Structures are given as C-alpha cells and as structure tokens.
C-alpha cells in the first residue's frame, strides 16, 4: 500500500468519513438542532448544516450536482481542489481551493444555490484534499440533483468535454 493511500485511509478512519453519492467521502459534523427549522418550498430545513468532505486519489472527483442552498467551502489540508461551476446562463467559472493563497488559491469559496458544481483533486504530494462545507438552509438530499451527462450536455453543449469528465457514464 502506498504511503499516500495509507494517509488518505487514516484520515477517512480518523474523521469517520463515509462514501458520498457524488464521489469522495463525507461526514455531517453539525446541524443547527438548537434553532427553529426553516420552512422552505421543499419542506423544513435546519438553519445550517456542516460536513467534512474529502477527495482522494481513489475517489478524486465530486461529480456535477446541483444544490438549492448556498454553500460555503473551507479548505483545510492536502492537495488543491479545482471547482467547476456552471451558471444558469451557461457561463463557466473555474476556481482552485488550496493553501497557496499567493498563487491565487482560495481558502474559502461561496457557491450560491442554483449552480451546477463539480470538484476534482489536483495532483500534489498528499493524495487527498480535505475541506468543510457549511450549507444554508441546511443540506437535505431532497434538495440535491446529480448531473445526468446527456441532460447537462444538451443544456450546456459548450461544456460537453468537461461534463463528460466530471459525470458518471450512464451506460
């Protein structure tokens, strides 16, 4: 077993992470139990929730998905993570979260609800990248939609190659 894989596996165990449907690993670390639930069009939601989210060499991609809630991402450690954001008008933003702020990497990233988002681990020395996410209104799987390759490429044909790289094959 490589030292890099071992480090990622140790982090998964230490933080109690589980596989996430979009790829990578996660664990909910907070939900605002002490606050009144927010009433949303989709039903009651916590005011805020938070997770750890980890990408590894073995699971390096967070597939394109759509959330209704705003999400704040916080970089913790490891290799940089590239985010691809497709706005409703089809414009694409590519941002990198990491600790090299002087090179333009971001320690924090806000992704408004209503944007298609994917992430991928960039090559580095660690073999993993760890972030946290704070979601408001709080995350509920009912408010998340996984990107379907055919539908996304029909909606955003200008990003076909990126969508094919950051979604699962539907075959």
Structure tokens at 167: 């979604």
Alpha-carbon torsion (34, 40, 44, 50), positive or negative: negative
Give a yes or no: residue 42 inside a domain: no
Give a yes or no: residue 48 inside a domain: no
For the chain, the average pLDDT equals: 95
Give a yes or no: residue 124 inside a domain: yes
Give a yes or no: residue 36 inside a domain: no
Residue with tokens 């009912």: 142
Q: What pLDDT is attached to residue 169?
A: 80
Pairing status of strand 128-136 against strand 70-78: antiparallel
Mean pLDDT of 109-132: 96
Q: Which residues contact 166 (CB under 8 A, 6 or more apart)?
A: 61, 63, 64, 84, 118, 120, 147
Instruction: Let me know: does 28 contact 50? Beta carbons within 8 Å.
Output: yes
CA distances from residue 1 to 6, 8, 121 in whole angstroms, order as listed: 7, 11, 20
pLDDT confidence tier of residue 5, bands split at 50, 70 and 90: confident
CA atoms within 13 A on the CB side of 133: 20
The angle at the Cα of 132, spanning 128 to 44, to the nearest 5 degrees, equals: 140
119: CATH? 2.60.120.10
* Count of domains for the chain: 1
Range of the domain at 67: 3-27+53-131+141-165
The CA distance from 27 to 11, in Å, is 12
Give a yes or no: residue 35 inside a domain: no
Q: What pLDDT is attached to residue 28?
A: 97
Give a yes or no: residue 41 inside a domain: no
């Amino acid at each position: 077993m490589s030292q890099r894989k071992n480090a990622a596996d140790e982090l998964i165990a230490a933080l109690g992470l589980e596989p996430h449907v979009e790829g990578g690993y996660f664990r909910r670390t907070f939900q605002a139990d002490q606050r009144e639930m927010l009433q949303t069009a989709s039903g009651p939601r916590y005011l805020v929730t938070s997770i750890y989210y980890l990408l590894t060499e073995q699971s390096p991609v967070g597939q394109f998905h759509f959330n209704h809630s705003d999400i704040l991402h916080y970089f913790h450690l490891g290799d940089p993570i590239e985010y691809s954001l497709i706005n409703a008008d089809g414009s694409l933003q590519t941002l990198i979260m990491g600790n090299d702020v002087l090179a333009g990497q971001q320690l924090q990233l806000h992704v408004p609800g209503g944007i298609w988002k994917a992430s991928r681990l960039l090559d580095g020395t660690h073999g993993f990248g760890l972030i946290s996410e704070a979601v408001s209104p709080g995350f509920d799987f009912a408010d998340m939609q996984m990107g379907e390759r055919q539908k996304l490429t029909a909606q955003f044909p200008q990003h076909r190659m990126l969508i094919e790289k950051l979604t699962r094959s539907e075959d």
